[in-house]
Structure 1
Amino acid sequence: MLRLSLFSRRLSAALLIKYLQDIGNQTIAEISVEEGKDVKLSCTLKKISDANYLYWYRQASRNTPVYILYSIAGKDYMSPDFPDRFSSIVNKINEDFELSIVTVLIGDSAVYYCGKDRIPLLGLHFPF
Structure 2
Amino acid sequence: RNYPHVHVPAASSHGTADRPPAERVGFRPEDVDAALAALDETFDIDREDIERLLRQVELQAMVRAQRTLLCRDIMSRDVISVPETATADEARKQLIDHNIRTLPVVGADGKLTGAVGLRELT
Give the shorter-chain TM-score range: under 0.3
**TM-score (ref. length: structure 1):** 0.21
Q: Which has the higher contact order (CA 8 A, sep 6+)?
A: 1
Q: What is the TM-score when the length of structure 2 is the normalising length?
A: 0.22
Q: As a proportion of its length, which structure holds more helix?
A: 2
Which protein shows a greater Rg? 2
More strand by share: 1
